[in-house]
């Protein structure tokens, strides 16, 4: 069987490393590749797939357009307004969002205290899924820091539609963050000294970027002694859920994480 991760850019993705390690651990002779697919190209790619294909992992900029292809949309994908997982089932397309439950697991693995307020840097599809994860964990007030308030509207609407109805406000990227948790979905190059300084008051810094590593925010969090939830934590937990959806096997989480850690070390040397 064949699976793959799609996106643009895609060369940096660790998903092939994680999924292949999972296949090796459970003894599956499956393949998992990375394919660069630009915005607007998902439908054409899916149209070329034959019965050997089982599923796709989706990254930016394809997460929202996946919904338009779906015959079935999971509750998580509908809530987030985005899908990172596409399953091919008897000729039908099913989509899901494992970023949301993956983010919940990633945070809880590192931080068990209550969470009531938070800030998110960035306003794309990943911001929506992590914002919903924060609502699942009990956050009632959330600030979304965006370059463009108008473009943040779908993310704000998605988070606000959570059954707990958290209060969501939009602020500029240069405004102060608040809350126990700060989530960063912005590129490392956008993390200037002022941005890093604004995260100093949080108990938890959740850096969803994993390449390059460490990012300025991650390095500062480590130096300050803040709890750091990493992009690899999120990647492993969401990939484990995808792995089970694709294969029907329980995901070998330890082996997948070890493979990801080794790959990041190799990239940094």
pLDDT tens by residue, 72-114: 999 999 998 899 999 999 989 999 999 999 999 999 999 999 9
Q: Report, as residue numbers or ranges, the catalytic residues.
A: 63
Q: What is the CA radius of gyration of the chain?
A: 18
Distance between CA atoms of residues 263 and 259, nearest Å: 6
Q: How confident is the model at residue 269 (pLDDT cuts 50, 70, 90)?
A: confident
Fold of 2-97+235-268: Rossmann fold (3.40.50)
Query: Cβ(83)–Cβ(96) under 8 Å?
Result: yes
Distance CA 134, CA 196 (A): 21
Is the distance from CB of 255 to CB of 21 less than 8 angstroms? yes
C-alpha 80/C-alpha 127 separation (Å) is 9
- SS3 string, 87-117, reads EEECCEEEEECCHHHHHHHHHHHHCCCCCCE
pTM of the model: 0.92
Q: How far apart are CA 11 and CA 219, in angstroms?
A: 24
Residue 165, CA distances (Å) to 96, 140, 161 in order: 22, 7, 6
CB contact set of 20 (below 8 Å; sequence gap of 6+): 32, 259
Q: CB of 99 within 8 A of CB of 128? A: no
Residues of the chain with CATH 3.40.50.10860: 2-97+235-268
Read off the pLDDT of each residue in 203-219 and give the average, rounded to a whole number. Answer: 94
Tell whether the model's pLDDT for residue 268 goes beyond 90: no
- Residue pLDDT, tens place only, 140-196: 999 999 988 888 999 999 999 999 999 999 999 999 999 999 999 999 999 999 999
- Residue 267 CB: number of other CB atoms within 10 A? 13
With beta carbons less than 8 A apart as the criterion, state whether 208 and 234 touch.
yes
pLDDT surpasses 80 at 198: yes
Rounded to whole angstroms, the Cα distance separating 103 from 93 reads 24
Three-state secondary-structure class, residue 205:
strand
Q: Mean pLDDT across the stretch 232-243?
A: 97
Architecture of domain 101-229: 3-Layer(aba) Sandwich (3.40)
- Residues 216-243, mean pLDDT to the nearest whole number: 97
What are the backbone dihedrals phi and psi of residue 206, each rounded to the nearest 5 degrees, phi first? -110, 100
Which ranges in the chain are annotated with CATH 3.40.50.720?
101-229
What single-letter DSSP state applies at residue 149?
T
């Amino acid at each position: 069987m064949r699976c793959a991760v799609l996106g643009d850019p895609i060369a940096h993705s660790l998903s092939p490393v994680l999924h292949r390690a999972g296949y090796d651990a459970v003894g599956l002779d499956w393949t998992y590749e990375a394919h660069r697919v630009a915005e607007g190209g998902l439908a054409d790619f899916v149209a070329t797939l034959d019965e050997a294909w089982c599923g796709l992992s989706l990254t930016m900029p394809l997460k929202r357009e996946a919904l338009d292809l779906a015959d079935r949309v999971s509750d998580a994908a509908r809530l987030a307004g985005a899908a990172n997982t596409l399953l091919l089932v008897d000729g039908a397309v099913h989509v899901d969002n494992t970023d949301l439950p993956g983010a919940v697991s990633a945070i809880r693995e590192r931080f068990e205290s209550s969470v009531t307020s938070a800030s998110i840097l960035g306003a794309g599809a990943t911001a929506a899924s992590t914002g919903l994860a924060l609502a699942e964990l009990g956050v009632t007030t959330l600030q979304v820091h965006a370059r463009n308030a108008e473009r943040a509207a779908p993310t704000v609407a998605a988070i606000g539609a959570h059954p707990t109805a958290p209060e969501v406000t939009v602020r500029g990227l240069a405004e102060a963050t608040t809350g126990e948790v700060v989530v960063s979905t912005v590129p490392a190059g956008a993390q200037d000294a002022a941005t890093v300084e604004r995260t100093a008051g949080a108990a938890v810094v959740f850096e969803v970027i994993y390449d390059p590593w460490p990012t300025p925010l991650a390095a500062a969090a480590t130096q300050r002694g803040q709890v750091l939830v990493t992009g690899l934590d999120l990647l492993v937990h969401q990939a484990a859920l995808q792995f089970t959806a694709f294969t029907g096997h329980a995901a070998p989480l330890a082996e997948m994480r070890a493979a990801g850690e080794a790959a990041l070390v190799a990239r940094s040397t």
